[in-house]
Amino acid sequence: MDSVNTSAWREPKAIISLVGIILLAGIVTVAIIRDRIVNQPQWQVNVTGQGKIFYQPDTAEVVIGLQVDRAYSAELAMKQLSDKMDKIVAAVKAADVPAEDIITQNFSLYPQYDYRDGVQ
C-alpha cells in the first residue's frame, strides 16, 4: 500500500497541483502582509487654503543710458551730457520723485579716436 501512495505523489499532475496550492497560499499571504505594511493607518489632517494679498508697490527702478558722440573735447562732452541729464532729472522730479531717491549709478568717459590712413 505504501508503494501505491508514493507513486501517486510522483505523478506530474499531483506535483503541479501541490506546487500551485503552495504558490497561491504564498501569494495571498504576501499580499495580505504587504497591504498591512504599505498602507499603515496614518493619523494626519490635510488642510488646503488660498490667500490673496493686495499692496501698492513703493519702489521702481528705471535705468537710463545717455551717450554723447563726436564732442571736440572731454569738457564739451561733459557739458552736453550734463544738459541732457538735467532735463531727465527735472522730468523725474516733476513726477513727484524726491531728489534723494534719484541716484547716478555709473559714469564713464572714453576718448574716441579717428584713424585715417593708419594715422591718428
pTM value is: 0.46
pLDDT of residue 86: 92
pLDDT of residue 11: 78
Q: What is the pLDDT of residues 65-85, one digit of tens each?
A: 888 888 888 899 999 999 999
**Domain extent listing, the chain:** 2-38, 61-112
4 compared with 28, residue with greater pLDDT: 28
DSSP category for residue 100 = G
The rounded distance, in Å, linking the Cα atoms of 88 and 99 is 12
How far, in Å, are 2, 33, 70 from residue 108 at the CA level? 110, 76, 15
How far, in Å, are 16, 23, 28, 56, 105 from residue 13 at the CA level? 5, 15, 22, 83, 92
Residue 120 has pLDDT above 70, yes or no: no
**Please, what's the b/e burial string for 35-47 (b: 16 or more CB within 10 A of its CB; e: otherwise)?**
eeeeeeeeeeeee
The rounded distance, in Å, linking the Cα atoms of 40 and 35 is 8
Name the percent of the chain lying above pLDDT 70. 88
